[in-house]
Amino acid sequence: MTIPANDNKPRLMTPKEAAAATTMSRVLLARMSKENRFPQPVQIGLKRIAYVRAEVDAWIETAIGARAAA
């Protein structure tokens, strides 16, 4: 799936937004990131992280594709 360059969505998403997009908890996403099973977050502040929206969207598409292949 190709996403247009100017879709007016922010390039980063908060852990809460990533959790909503994947229907998983923020804790589970953090654990999966540490296990390299979900995209790594970007450190944007001393105590603030965000996920790259394109990477999360690609992860979701891969999960959907894996379901179809199984």
pLDDT, tens digit, for every residue of 34-57? 999 999 999 999 999 999 999 999
The burial class, CB within 10 Å (0-12 / 13-18 / 19+), for 41 is buried
Compute the average pLDDT of residues 23-44: 97
Report the C-alpha gap between 32 and 39 in whole angstroms. 8
- pTM attached to this predicted model: 0.84
Beta bridge partners, 12, equal 52
9: confidence class by pLDDT, cuts 50, 70, 90: confident
Would you state the pLDDT for residue 6? 61
CA distance 8 to 56: 17
Mean pLDDT for 4-13 is 79
Phi/psi for 22 (5° steps) reads: -100, -10
**pLDDT at 16 > cutoff 90:** yes
Tokens of 62: 């891969």
Pick the CATH number of 12-69 from 1.10.1660, 2.60.40, 3.40.1710, 3.10.50: 1.10.1660
